[in-house]
Amino acid sequence: MILGGDELHNNLVYPSLHRFEVKGWVRRRAISCTRGQRRHVYALTAGRNELVPRLSDDSPVASSRDEFCLRVAFLSFLSSSVREQVLAAREDGLRREIAHFETIREKLGGLGLYPDEAVRFLQDASEAEASWVRRLRQIETSGAAKRGRRLDSGSSQRKQREAR
């Protein structure tokens, strides 16, 4: 899991790691585990300098939640201005997505309980992600990212989630 978000699916992670390895951005090494099985461990290489600009571009791939979470994991490799661009672009995309869900609910509200619940679920997920992006932007503007520290409100938010 990245930053407490949803788990990234293996169908995203391993093909991406393989592409990164082929391009020389990461290296893979096998290690032995306690029961005799082998596990692959990945590490960034000096070639990651080619990866960083790709993580900050405004390509359509970044519009998916999984790709955005992957970018967030690498934000510390980007300049503060590029981090702000990535976060602002995602926040803008989420704003449009939420407005789209509101339009769908208005136009299709008479379809019944379950269609409305499905759209509401998707809208709630987008609103939760937008809240997280606002928090990341707050971290950026507070200077906490430079100090490598979390904002205090994160622990209280985490406690609230755990209490639910």
* Multiple choice CATH, 1-56, 1.20.140.10, 2.40.50.100, 1.10.10.10, 1.10.260.40: 1.10.10.10
pTM: 0.59
Residue tagged 């755990």 (tokens): 162
pLDDT of residue 133: 93
pLDDT of residue 61: 41
Domains of the chain: which residue ranges?
Answer: 1-56, 79-164
Distances (CA, A) of 28 to 33, 53, 110, 111, 155: 16, 22, 53, 51, 34
Average pLDDT per block of 10 residues along the chain, 164 residues long: 50 78 86 86 78 57 70 80 85 91 83 86 94 92 63 50 52
Tally of residues, the chain: 164
Neighbours of 52 (CB within 10 A): 16
- Quick check: 149 and 138 in contact, CB under 8 A? no
Nearest of 134, 131, 124 to residue 102 by alpha carbon: 124
Return d(Cα 62, Cα 22) in angstroms, integer. 21
- Quick check: 144 and 155 in contact, CB under 8 A? no
Token pair of 152 as six digits:
């205090």
pLDDT of residue 8: 60
Return d(Cα 122, Cα 42) in angstroms, integer. 33
